[in-house]
Amino acid sequence: MPKLNLHRRDYMTSLVGNLSTEELKQRLGSDHSAPQHKQPRTPYLTPKAVEKRWQVLNNADAQAQLLDSVTYEQMEHYQKNIENFIGTVKLPVGVAGPLRVNGLFAKGDYHVPLATTEAALVASYNRGSQLITQAGGTSVMLLNEGVTRTPCFAFFDLAQAGQFVAWVVTQYDEFRRIAESTTRYGKLTDISVNIEGNHVYLVFEYLTGDASGQNMVTISTNAVFEYILHHTPIEPESAFLDGNLSGDKKATAQTLRSVRGKKVTAEVHITKELVEKYLHTTPQRMADFTRMTTVGGTLSGSIGINAHYANALAAFYIACGQDAACVAESSVGITRIEVNKAGGLYASVTLPNLMVGTVGGGTSLPSQRASLDIMGLAGSGKSQALAEVCAALCLAGELSIVGAFCAGHFSRAHHKLAR
């Protein structure tokens, strides 16, 4: 510990030790001079606005890369997805598979597109997918669905908070009518109440059809929120549309037992022979590794226990037009790896926060739609199947990375493929 403290002190000294107090103030002080170059005021996507933005940026080489001819021709497709548009970034897309999924909604062999710049990632998921397929596929079940928004209200005291709640519980039918009047697809399925002192949090939970649903539930809940502010007999001292109880774009423990988005579980039984052939290790060693790393995850305060769901989800979400920021919540989950009674391997994953959709958001953009089309999962009626494929992909990645650690191949694979 003393060495660590010395390191921190020495590091800060190396950063600022050669600067005088006045020089440091000058470096870090506020600068109120006018910017030399300003972007056009309009955030909208028009050829004229794009041209003006590049005039300000004044970088022909960057413009040639980001605003290539195909992007220029297709840029009208991005109208509802971005502001201050200047072009597109090209990411390499690989494919993992075939991945055999035996689910309630997804049934068949899937080739899964993954957009990433991390070498060895696609190879790992491809290996896990092939192993699962050779084992007869993974059994996958969608367990629950629901997306929440949580308005909050502050009152003078607990008595007022209680009076407010007493009124709220008489308004559920009206809240449902108002919320569902804003959307063709969303359904308000539950409202729960949380009281913390003189604060009240209302948890609105929705089914959002084939859309991921964040915007849908925000608009619907805002309509109810405005109704509450205009009709409540107990006026709050302050109120906000979301009180940070929903778990939106952050890891939370509450959804391990409930749901945000789609809750899915997947499992597979693999013979000892297949484990040795594909992963070059044994079921027992993989089970031992999982037990020890579960303790390590607990010591680190991890919410859920898994090896690297985030790798699969980030690459999958980007390729398929999902909200990549939702990886923060979607990567919460539990992996179990055990030796089954036949001496083979049992592995399962449970992901309670898969925020995925097959309509809306970025799913209609040309490249992202193409990725969904590869799996046959674009458009209405496919979101539950997409969630099951996503869980199966995470299972493939868990098997592959745990096998790599147990066989001593993890570093070697990255050295070989990344250098």
Report domain 151-240's class: alpha beta
Domain boundaries, the chain: 42-90, 97-145+258-418, 151-240
Residues known to be catalytic: 118, 323, 414
Lowest mean pLDDT among 108-117, 196-205, 249-258, 325-334: 249-258
CATH 1.20.1250.20 fits domain 97-145+258-418: no
pLDDT band at 19 (very low <50, low <70, confident <90, very high): confident
pLDDT band at 416 (very low <50, low <70, confident <90, very high): low
- The radius of gyration of the chain from alpha carbons, rounded to an integer in Å, stands at 25
Q: Which helix (H) or strand (E) holds 163?
A: helix 158-168
| pLDDT mean over 219-243 | 97
The dihedral through the CA atoms of 279, 281, 284, 289 has a sign that is negative
Average pLDDT value over all residues in the chain: 93
Both tokens assigned to 250: 């952050």
In the prediction, which pLDDT does 357 show?
Answer: 96
Lowest mean pLDDT among 13-27, 79-93, 170-184: 13-27
* pLDDT, tens digit, 9 for 90 and up, residues 38-54: 888 899 999 999 999 99
CA distances 319 to 6, 281, 324, 331, Å, are: 45, 32, 10, 17
In the prediction, which pLDDT does 33 show?
Answer: 92
Q: Which helix (H) or strand (E) holds 304?
A: strand 304-305
In the prediction, which pLDDT does 220 show?
Answer: 97
Rounded to whole angstroms, how far apart are CA atoms 60 and 62? 6
Backbone angles phi, psi at 74, to 5 degrees: -100, 0
10 Å CB burial of residue 400 (0-12, 13-18, 19+) is buried
Paired sense of beta strands 304-305 and 333-339, if any: parallel
pTM: 0.91
